[in-house]
Amino acid sequence: MFLKSPPPLVLASTSIYRRQLLERLQIPFTCDSPGVDEAPLPDEIPKALVARLALAKARAVAARHPDAWIIGSDQVAVLQESATATAILGKPGTAVRCVEQIRRCSGRTLTFVTAVAVLRHDQAAHEFIDESRVTYRRLDAATIERYVARESPLDCAGGFKSEGLGIALCEAIENLDPTALIGLPLIRLGAVLRLVGFTLP
């Protein structure tokens, strides 16, 4: 598709986890902070929230890089606490909140919902959502506190890092793309990048 060299590629994120994932595709890219308010709207469901934020992040960065392809992404962890109550767990930010989030997840299954939007300023966005299900084993207070102290996953949705020590908290993980759980689904993202003209193996 590209006659000479591909246009710039920009990851609309400051997340070290997403940057490290995108590096695996071995395509040159830069990162730019989208500066988007991530607070949910009233009564906004998880899929709508992450889709809106992924697109908003991509659009915000596209305004500063009109010639580039932009990748925006967002993720939340969703806990079905009862038949009628759903909790959205974002980044805990503090150790106390992280311990509380994981305590709520003990013995339960969470759905990690990850949205991606890939766009260029003059073209329609390519959007998709990936879901991963994580079942936690039953965790006592000492186990949770040890995990949080050792891993310090304060900037991860649900306070959980599957690529690190967090795997020891799990009973099962169900997904189609293990990179989605870390924050950027590379299988479908790779397909989109090939579609818009980038060369991947």
Active site residue 43: no
Confidence of residue 95 (pLDDT cuts 50, 70, 90): very high
Q: Where are the domains of the chain?
A: 9-195
User: Would the pTM count as exceeding 0.85?
Assistant: yes
Q: In the CATH scheme, what architecture does the domain 9-195 have?
A: Alpha-Beta Complex (3.90)
Choosing from 74, 130, 140, 177, the catalytic residue is 74
Task: Tell which residue, 117, 112, 11, 10, has the closest CA to residue 56.
Answer: 117
Cβ count near 123 (within 10 Å): 11
Confidence of residue 57 (pLDDT cuts 50, 70, 90): very high
Q: What is the pLDDT of residues 104-134, one digit of tens each?
A: 999 999 999 999 999 998 788 999 999 999 9
Confidence of residue 1 (pLDDT cuts 50, 70, 90): low
Cβ count near 137 (within 10 Å): 12
Q: What is the pLDDT of residue 84?
A: 75
Q: What is the pLDDT of residue 123?
A: 81
Confidence of residue 3 (pLDDT cuts 50, 70, 90): low
Average pLDDT over every residue of 58-83: 92
| Mean pLDDT (the chain, rounded) | 92
